Amino acid sequence: MGASVANLEELTSVRTVELLKHHTPQVSELLEQARNLQRLARQVETGWGQIPAEAKIILKDFGYSLNQSYLRPNPWQMPRVISFLIKAVIKGEIPALLKFGNALLEAQEAILCQVERENSSYQAAVADAIDDVVGGRDPGREMSLEEFRELVKTGKALHH
């Protein structure tokens, strides 16, 4: 993987996560962070097995931190957030903001997918859930329209 543990700490640091929270970023900052996050997502997707355990912990914390409520603005921050969004619209900076947001989600998805793949209890839970939905059907056999309707209606597959 091209990024060291120190680089990951910087990339997943307060600067990246709180870019929009504490100051009004410039378009160049948003685009730079978007590129960094997209690069991180590609590295995680293609080289997770080569990432050191210490770096995986940093990435995992970063991925889960994006779900935390501290990323949502407090009510007292809303005027600043609204002002930022109005300025972004007026200046035509919405594409950069969207690119940053999409890159953040892409990085989070890549990280959490890899974390889940490594977790055997998660894999077992997914397998059990799929088995519950499929209900013992032969997975190689196509589901008829009637079976699909019944599955949607009741949450259980028809058994023949």
Distance from C-alpha of 123 to C-alpha of 116, rounded to nearest angstrom:
7
> Per-residue pLDDT tens for 99-112?
988 998 899 999 99
The arithmetic mean of pLDDT across residues 37-59, rounded, is 90
Distance from C-alpha of 140 to C-alpha of 83, rounded to nearest angstrom:
55
Q: Sorting pLDDT into bands at 50, 70 and 90, what band is 132?
A: low
> Per-residue pLDDT tens for 64-97?
877 764 456 666 666 776 777 788 888 888 898 8
Distance from C-alpha of 62 to C-alpha of 108, rounded to nearest angstrom:
8
Q: What's the confidence (pLDDT) of residue 135?
A: 64
Q: What's the confidence (pLDDT) of residue 158?
A: 47
Decide if pLDDT at 28 tops 70.
Answer: yes
Decide if pLDDT at 57 tops 60.
Answer: yes
Please indicate whether residue 141 or residue 59 has the higher confidence score (pLDDT).
Answer: 59
Distance from C-alpha of 84 to C-alpha of 128, rounded to nearest angstrom:
46
Cα-based distances in Å from 47 to 9, 43, 77:
17, 5, 38
Q: What's the confidence (pLDDT) of residue 21?
A: 55
Distance from C-alpha of 14 to C-alpha of 102, rounded to nearest angstrom:
18
